Amino acid sequence: MSWRPSALNVSFVTLAGWALFLGVLTGRADLVIVAVPLVVALLIGRRAGATPTLRVDHTVSSDRVLEDERLTVTVTIRADGPAPLVELLEPLPSRVTVERGSAHAFFTLRAGEEVRWEFALRCRGRQRLRLGGPHCRLWGPLGLATAEARYRVTQTVAVYPHLAPLRHPPRPVRTQTYVGHHVSAAQGEGIEPGDIRPFAPGDQVRHVNWRATLRHGTLHVTRHHRERNADVVLLLDTLSEVGPPGASVVDVAARGAADLAAAYLARKDRVGLIEYGGQLRWVKPGSGRAQFQRLLDTLLDASVVFTYVTRDLDLVPPRILPPQALVVALSPLLDARFVRAATDLAARGADLVVVAVSPAPAAQAALPPSPVVDLAARLWTLERRAELDGHRRRGLTIVEWDGVGPLEVALAALRWPRLRRALAR
Amino acid sequence: MMRLAAAVLVLVVVSFPVSVLPGPPVTWLAVLGGVVGGAGAVLLSVTLVTVGASVALIAYALALLIARPVDADPLAATGFGAALVVVLVLVHFAARADGAALGPAVLATQLRQWLATIAVGVLAAAGLAMAGALLGAVLAGTSLPVVVAAAALGALLTVAGLIALTTRQDPPNPT
């Protein structure tokens, strides 16, 4: 770091110059005396001495937070020499607000003194928050000299979508072979009672249905439905985006996908993810906490990448999109390429549910409120309803979600597969 | 709070020319300087405050020119210069620190620095006033054009020296 003059010098020189010029012009000693304190201040201001070496330590309270969670940044500064005025400024991205303290601070440090500076941030919207470390500026006497440095400590904080509990996500029509929470059509060991049949050697006595036995006069046993898990693939549309950063339809869809992933993984289902956009990215179906973390990390990076290329879902390997899987598509249904892909998928017999994220509230959030915007949003909503009805007639099961209310309410109509089929008709 | 202090200081600065000659056109210029400087104090703009102070300085020169007091008033002139220094550093600091967190000793350290500078400035002004009085006695018989030329040269050299001083960059610190 080295000292350089600040802009304040210009003001001092200007006023001193004026005073001296006017003093000579008018021949008055008073004006020359006026210039003396200004000249003395300029001389003192340039006697800044050697710049002290600052040691800056920058830490964050966590490297993973949820949306709207508080993140505390702690900066510790230590100077090897006296620093009369140290200015620190942490540059923040646009979707981060300071909740407590300030990201801009001034300190006075004695030689060897250590100062701790803390402030809390609130992160709006999913993002990978990159904090690059504070800008540091030393001010000489009277602010007439300054020395600057940037302490680079790249710290990335993953801000995951806020999770809302989903108690009743859409039930899959088909189940898999592993034990889970879904009642399978297949008979075997389970809790849900199924058929009643005559007793056969090997049947357990605890399965005997005494009421049927008394009625028929011979031993009858109750069979049960197996409880199995399911494969769920979340299909995220990143072909189009409407709304401000952090509250766009892709952000809303990513939030919904995170809710669904958490709900299905809690039911021991295997959950995968396909990001259908300019980049076709996927996560193989899996279960457990590690899989949830993988899904969240992929959702964090989901963004619109512009392309003219149309990629078909045929490109996706069957292990990523199993034929028996329940596919939950989250899309604003604004891009015809996604609508075509979803229609093809449904036509091939896939168990598909489309959560149509309404773009109208996101578009409204991006515009200044006015009656014209409200009217346009209402008209757009009506137009979209007609479009969605057309998609439903083509065999898609669609529920509309405005992204403002809970996803649970939007999905209530899809709770049972039978209702879902009725809805598709 | 800092805005209020800066506004009060701007008022003090513009009151100096009015105290020399309380009448037009000095009052008009002082009011103009006050309005511009006041706007600078409210907006925490060093540029506006500098413009306002320059106008006040011109008003002061005009007041001295019109009123033509017999003797110079070094006390008032020193006060005027000190007020100019304080208003500039205060607005500059307030503009930087606006909305920022201030450490416990920051304000006290700054105030100490400012007061020390003012004290040195006052002493230097007193020294210059005394030296001027002595020089005046010595150069009593010198013709006016020579004195004016010497004063102009001195002023020119001072301003040039100040510009050279303030634009000089220190070599980078090896640490």
Whether residue B123 lies inside any domain: the answer is no
Is the domain of A400 the same as that of A329? yes
pLDDT computed for residue A194 by the predictor = 80
Whether residue B91 lies inside any domain: the answer is yes
- DSSP label at residue A316: S
Angle at B14 between CA B10 and CA B20, to 5 degrees: 150
Whether residue A165 lies inside any domain: the answer is no
Query: Distance between CA A356 and CA A235 in Å, rounded?
Result: 12
Is the domain of A261 the same as that of A320? yes
Is the domain of A153 the same as that of A217? no
Whether residue B94 lies inside any domain: the answer is yes
Q: What is the pTM of this model?
A: 0.72
Distance from CA of B21 to the nearest CA of A (A): 14
Lowest mean pLDDT across A247-261, A266-280, B131-145: B131-145
For chain B, the domain total comes to: 1
C-beta of residue A392 within 8 angstroms of C-beta of residue A398: yes
Nearest to A2 among B113, B117, B171 (CB): B171
- Is the pLDDT at A74 greater than 60, yes or no? yes
Whether residue A220 lies inside any domain: the answer is yes
Quickly state the pLDDT bin for A290 (edges 50, 70, 90). very high
pLDDT computed for residue B159 by the predictor = 66
* Tens-place pLDDT, residues A158-208: 998 888 888 888 888 777 777 777 777 777 777 778 888 898 888 888 888
Residue A100's CATH number = 2.60.40.10
Quickly state the pLDDT bin for A371 (edges 50, 70, 90). very high
Quickly state the pLDDT bin for B173 (edges 50, 70, 90). very low
Whether residue A166 lies inside any domain: the answer is no
Is the domain of A22 the same as that of A133? no
CA distances from A370 to A362, A366, A373 (A): 15, 12, 5
Interface confidence (ipTM) of the complex: 0.83
Task: Work out the average pLDDT over A268-287.
Answer: 88
Cβ under 8 Å to A: B residues 101-140: 101-103, 105-106, 109-110, 113-114, 117-118, 120-122, 124-125, 128-129, 132
Q: Do A4 and B165 touch (CB under 8 A)?
A: no
Which residue range forms the structural domain that includes residue B20?
2-100
Residues of A in contact with B172 (CB under 8 A): 1-2
The edge-to-edge listing of strands for the beta sheet with A280-286 is A280-286, A270-277, A231-238, A326-331, A351-357, A398-401
Contacts of A25 (CB under 8 A, 6+ apart): B61
Q: Do A44 and B60 touch (CB under 8 A)?
A: no
Lowest mean pLDDT across A78-82, A233-237, A356-360: A78-82
Distance from CA of B83 to the nearest CA of A (A): 9
Is the domain of A355 the same as that of A401? yes
Cβ under 8 Å to B: A residues 112-141: 115, 117, 119, 139, 141
Task: Work out the average pLDDT over A139-164.
Answer: 84
Is the domain of A14 the same as that of A58? no
Lowest mean pLDDT across A195-199, A326-330, B6-10, B22-26: B22-26
Q: Do B81 and A115 touch (CB under 8 A)?
A: no
Is any Cβ of chain A less than 8 angstroms from the Cβ of B95?
Answer: no
Task: Work out the average pLDDT over A244-249.
Answer: 85
Whether residue B43 lies inside any domain: the answer is yes
Whether residue A347 lies inside any domain: the answer is yes
Whether residue B58 lies inside any domain: the answer is yes
Is the domain of A218 the same as that of A354? no
Query: Distance between CA A379 and CA A363 in Å, rounded?
Result: 13
Is the domain of A41 the same as that of A60? no
Long-range contacts of range A306-310, CB-CB < 8 Å, 24 or more positions apart?
A306/A278, A307/A277, A307/A278, A309/A278, A310/A337
Whether residue A71 lies inside any domain: the answer is yes
Is the domain of A307 the same as that of A367? yes
Is the domain of A200 the same as that of A343? no
Check residues A75 and B72 and name the one with the higher pLDDT: A75
Long-range contacts of range B15-23, CB-CB < 8 Å, 24 or more positions apart?
B16/B56, B16/B60, B16/B76, B16/B79, B16/B80, B16/B83, B17/B56, B17/B59, B17/B60, B17/B62, B17/B63, B18/B59, B18/B63, B19/B76, B20/B60, B20/B63, B20/B64, B20/B67, B20/B69, B20/B76, B21/B62, B21/B63, B21/B66, B21/B67
Average of per-residue pLDDT values in chain A:
84
Nearest to A42 among B57, B97, B166 (CB): B166
* Tens-place pLDDT, residues B22-50: 878 888 888 888 898 889 888 888 888 88
Whether residue B18 lies inside any domain: the answer is yes
pLDDT computed for residue B139 by the predictor = 67
Whether residue B60 lies inside any domain: the answer is yes
For chain A, the domain total comes to: 4
Nearest to B81 among A35, A51, A108 (CB): A35
With tokens 């001296």, the residue in question is A20
Whether residue B130 lies inside any domain: the answer is no
Whether residue A173 lies inside any domain: the answer is no
Element (H, E) at B16: helix B2-20
Cβ under 8 Å to A: B residues 54-83: 54, 57-58, 60-61, 64-65, 72-74, 76-78, 80-82
Which residue range forms the structural domain that includes residue A151?
54-160
For residue B25, is the peptide bond before it cis, meaning its omega torsion is within 30 degrees of 0? Answer: yes
Is the domain of A386 the same as that of A238? yes
Is the domain of A207 the same as that of A354? no
- Is the pLDDT at B172 greater than 50, yes or no? no
Whether residue A169 lies inside any domain: the answer is no
Whether residue A251 lies inside any domain: the answer is yes
Is any Cβ of chain B less than 8 angstroms from the Cβ of A9?
Answer: yes
Task: Work out the average pLDDT over A277-295.
Answer: 89
The upper half-sphere exposure of residue A119, i.e. CA atoms within 13 Å in the direction of its Cβ, equals: 22
pLDDT computed for residue B143 by the predictor = 63
* Tens-place pLDDT, residues A32-73: 888 888 888 888 887 767 777 888 888 888 888 888 888 999
- Is the pLDDT at A31 greater than 50, yes or no? yes
- Is the pLDDT at A411 greater than 80, yes or no? yes
Domain boundary among the residues A193, A208, A228 is at A228
Lowest mean pLDDT across A178-192, B1-15, B86-100, B103-117: A178-192
| DSSP for A163-205, written as a single string | P---SSPPPPSS--SSEEEEEEEEEEEEEEEEEEEE--TT--G
Cβ-based neighbour number of residue A210 at 10 Å: 10
